[in-house]
Structures are given as C-alpha cells and as structure tokens.
Amino acid sequence: MYYFINEYLLPKNSSVEHAAMQRVQLFTHYRVPAKVVTKAYDRLLHQTMPDFGLTDSQVLNMFDYFQQATPQVVHTEDLNLPCEYAIDVGANVSQVFNGDDLVAKVGFIPGSIGQVFYQEHYDNQGNLMATDLWDYRGFKSATQYFGQNGELIMERDYTPQGQVVLEQYFVADTQNQPLLSRVILKTGSNDHFFANLDELFVFFLTQLSHDKVASVTFISDRPGTGILPLLQLDSHVRKYVMVPIYHALDIHDPLHAPLDGFLQPAFDNLQRFDGFITTTSAQAQQLQQRYPTAKVTAISPVAVSKQNVPPVQSRPRQLLYVGRLAADRQLEQLIRVVALVKAQLPTVQFDLRGFGDVDYCQTLTQLIQTLGLTENVHLIDYRPDFADQYESYQVLLNADLANGGPLAMMEALAHGLPVVSYRFNYGPQDFIENGRNGWLIDPGDQLAMSQKIIGLLTQSHQLAAFSQAAMASAQTKWGRLKVWHQWQQLLGC
C-alpha cells in the first residue's frame, strides 16, 4: 500500500494537493493500491472528494480512521426534538424555541437542502453550552463543550454509532484562545494519551505501517505535515519526501543558502529516508550536488494520456494565468504586460484563475482599473474541474520569482497552450523549448514578453505550430506510461 501524506483536501487546493490527487489516479489506473492520507478534521471532506473525481477507496483521513466513519444523511426532522419545541426555519440556520427561550440553533451544510451541519445548545440564560458537529455523511461526528465565558474546553469525537473514540481538552493561551492541551484516544481496553494532534498523527501513521497483508510505503507530499512524523516511524517501512517547493531560502543560491525550514529535518537525516522526489531534473541535479549521498529522482506530477484537443486558433479565450494569486507570482507585471499588448490588440483578453489573499486581489483589481483594463483582464475564482478549461485558451503566461515546478505550466502544454514565461528556478527551462513551444523571457522584461505574446496572437501559423509542439513535447516527456514506468523503477510497484 502506498500512502501520500497531506494536511487536507479542500474545496480550493494548491498544486501540492493536485499533484497528490493526480498521482493516486495514476496508481489506481495501473491497479496499484494507493491512498491520499489527510490529517485535518474536515466534516465536508466527503462532499469535496467527488468534485475532484476521488472515491472513498482513494482517501483516508486520520479522524475517519479512528471514528470508523460510514454514511447516513440526517435532516432537522431526524434530530428527535421534543414535540413542544417550535422551530423557526431558515435557509442556512434554523432556531429552536421552548416557549420564548432559544434552546438550540441548527445549521445546514452549504449547498444541501436542510442537511444538518451543527446544532448549538443554550442554557436558560442564552449561554452556549455545547455544539454538536455533524459530518456530511450524516452522523454526529463530535460535540464541543464550552465554559461559562464561552471558551472551548473540551471536544468529544464519535463513531457513527455514537461511541466516544477521542477526547480533546483545551486551555486558554496567552491571547485567551483555546489551546489543545491533551488528546485521549479511547480504544476500549486501553486509552492512549497525546499532548497534541501531531503526536496522534504519528500514532495513526504507525498503525498504518503495521499492515500485515502488504508492504507499506509513505510519500510525504506536504513537508510541514509529513517529514517529522515519518522520522519517528520504524525503519521497516519505506519513506520518501516530495520536494514541491523551491528548497532554498535564497532564490539565487540553491546550492548554499539555508534550506526551507520544513525540508531541513529531512536533509539532516538522509539515512532515514529512501529518497527524495522533485518535479524537475534541474532541481534534482542541484539537490544531488548539494547532498551527494541523497537519492534524488525527478518524476513528473502530470501523466498525459492521448486526447483530441480543439485547434488552438479556434479557442474562445486568449491569455491565461493559473495558480495562487500572490505577490511572489508577480501578477502586477503580467497585468502591465497585457496593457502593452492592448496598445496593439485592443480586444485582448486575459484571465487570472485561482485564489489568494483578499487584500492582494483587491490590489490587482485596482491596478486593472487604473490601467483601463476592466474589459480585458478578469480575476476568476478557482474551480475543481479547471483541467477541462485549458482548451478554451490559447497562451499561458507566467512571471514567478521561483517555483518547485509549476504544475499549471505542464498541464497547459499538455493541452496545447504555448507558454510565455520569465526564466526562473524551476520549470521554464525544463519545460519550454524556446522558440518552439513557448518563449523564455528575462525576468522583468515586460516589453519583450508583450512582443512575444503579440506575435503569437497575430500570427496564426506560429500559434498553431507552437501549440502542436507543446502537445508533442508533453506527450514525449510526460506520457502516462512513461511516468508510470518512472514510478515503477523507483518503487518497484
């Protein structure tokens, strides 16, 4: 069994989670058992999973494991409220009254029709005493208990049959916020005590490692979640670390600058890991040069299957950016580049698709307005099925400072989008064949980038040739069978 360690799977995910989800689909396709493992408590996880094409057999959450979770849908009428209670029904929250006294509030799962998400209980003074938390699958998952001042003091987590399996105790920190102080796992004959959820996660992974039927391999996707727990596991299981980020703190000195703090413990304990996996060969080579005894392998997170895609010239949209909306992506520069393009192509269209900090997005919106681009540049929210939308666009733009290997760049090429990007570590030099399937631009040269974009949008023969070369290069480098053979060679699966 192969376990891919992540913190969460959310309605909006980063490339780390997308890479893990694509990997589990690859393993499933070749009938090798694998699961994405998540640590965070999430009552909506099983609502989210189908949006990304994931099944229950492909995801294992720590709380689900201990709660032995199974599905059942519950609505307000299933709560067995006393018949004398009056219910004031609302769209998102219903209030429950005993005479004039508010005794409970029932919240509903977003996007559902009256499916219970939580139930708050109040005393006769109107103080919150407890909140029952309901899982999307329809069982009461936990109850939170509150003190006289409304502070969280305890949480109990249940099996679907109502048996208590976890107890969490909280104290107030220096900011008067709840701080987890003790966790008790109740297993029947013996209770297990932990100081925090990190210790519980180590215990969880240890339980998975004791599989008596199959050998176990762990792959840490998110360094901050997986590396320290894996260091505490016995040596009888195989352990690998994905390096999904630029590994050094100084983007100009990958060989000598201090490492990212989440990665440092792994490279301080090379002998405790079976290998490290990067997206690009360039990063693998530099890590190997820096740590000669490490076993570093580059494997694409994208596995391309043959597909029919519409001709690039007939696609309805033009320019595209996909990813986090964040300052290190230098999106202001891309917007200014499009302003230069608009001077020659007044109707040019550029969509920035993703999610990010609200204040930063507001900064981008103000810049768009200032440059008179409100009809040309659009911020579009993240959507889980975006992979199907690449084929509506013609060219992908990128101006990152650094990256561990931009997933969107690989996906765009696979869907026939030429890429115009600044040079940076890592990705552009690995993926772009300059003048064939895209253009490499010196960082900060907005004029040069705009000219290359104008050339592609005004010369249909060049755009078509670059598009065909993009798909051909993706098939050659990241064909599904080729990527699978790389995993087989590394893991022996």
pLDDT tens series, the chain, 493 aa: 999 999 999 999 999 999 999 999 999 999 999 999 999 999 999 999 999 999 999 999 999 999 998 555 445 556 666 766 666 667 677 777 777 778 778 777 777 767 889 999 999 888 999 999 999 998 999 999 999 889 999 999 999 999 999 999 999 999 989 999 999 999 877 899 999 999 999 999 999 999 777 799 999 999 999 999 999 998 789 999 999 999 999 999 999 999 999 999 999 999 999 999 999 999 999 999 999 999 999 999 999 997 789 999 999 999 999 999 999 999 999 999 999 999 999 999 999 999 999 999 999 999 999 999 999 999 999 999 888 899 999 999 999 999 988 999 999 999 999 999 999 999 999 999 999 999 999 999 999 999 999 999 999 999 999 999 999 999 999 999 999 999 999 999 8
C-alpha–C-alpha distance, residues 398 and 424, integer Å: 10
Q: Are residues 414 and 369 in the same domain?
A: yes
Report the number of distinct structural domains present in the chain: 3
C-alpha–C-alpha distance, residues 240 and 88, integer Å: 53
Q: Are residues 59 and 204 in the same domain?
A: yes
> Residue 304: inside a domain, yes or no?
no
Q: Are residues 424 and 447 in the same domain?
A: yes
> Residue 53: inside a domain, yes or no?
yes
> Which of 165, 196, 227 is a domain's end point?
196
Q: Are residues 174 and 230 in the same domain?
A: no
The residue type found at 97 is F
Q: How far is CA 175 from CA 153, 178, 343, 349, in A?
A: 15, 9, 53, 47
> Residue 12: inside a domain, yes or no?
yes
> Which of 145, 166, 196 is a domain's end point?
196
> Which of 145, 171, 196 is a domain's end point?
196
Q: Are residues 270 and 180 in the same domain?
A: no
Q: Are residues 165 and 282 in the same domain?
A: no
Strands 419-422 and 350-354: unpaired
Q: Are residues 427 and 408 in the same domain?
A: yes
What CATH code is carried by the domain that includes residue 254? 3.40.50.2000
> Residue 410: inside a domain, yes or no?
yes
Q: Are 338 and 350 in contact (CB under 8 A)?
A: yes
Could you tell me the strand order of the sheet in which 350-354 lies?
A: 377-381, 350-354, 319-322, 395-398, 419-422, 438-441
How many Cα atoms sit within 13 Å of 19 on the Cβ side? 28
Dump pLDDT digits (tens) for 137-176: 989 999 999 998 899 999 999 999 999 999 999 999 999 8
Q: Are residues 108 and 191 in the same domain?
A: yes
Q: Are residues 332 and 439 in the same domain?
A: yes
Nearest to 473 by CA among 435, 441, 442: 435
Domain membership of residue 188 as a residue range: 76-196
Token pair belonging to 401: 């400072």
> Residue 303: inside a domain, yes or no?
no
Q: Are 418 and 428 in contact (CB under 8 A)?
A: no
Q: Are residues 325 and 463 in the same domain?
A: yes
> Residue 235: inside a domain, yes or no?
yes
> Residue 483: inside a domain, yes or no?
no
C-alpha–C-alpha distance, residues 34 and 51, integer Å: 19
Identify whether 426 is preceded by a cis peptide bond (ω within 30 of 0). Answer: yes
Q: Are residues 120 and 269 in the same domain?
A: no
pLDDT at 83: 63
C-alpha–C-alpha distance, residues 376 and 453, integer Å: 15
Nearest to 5 by CA among 224, 213, 214: 224
> Residue 468: inside a domain, yes or no?
yes
Handedness of CA 188, 192, 193, 195 (dihedral sign): negative
Nearest to 374 by CA among 340, 343, 349, 354: 349
Q: Are residues 34 and 92 in the same domain?
A: no
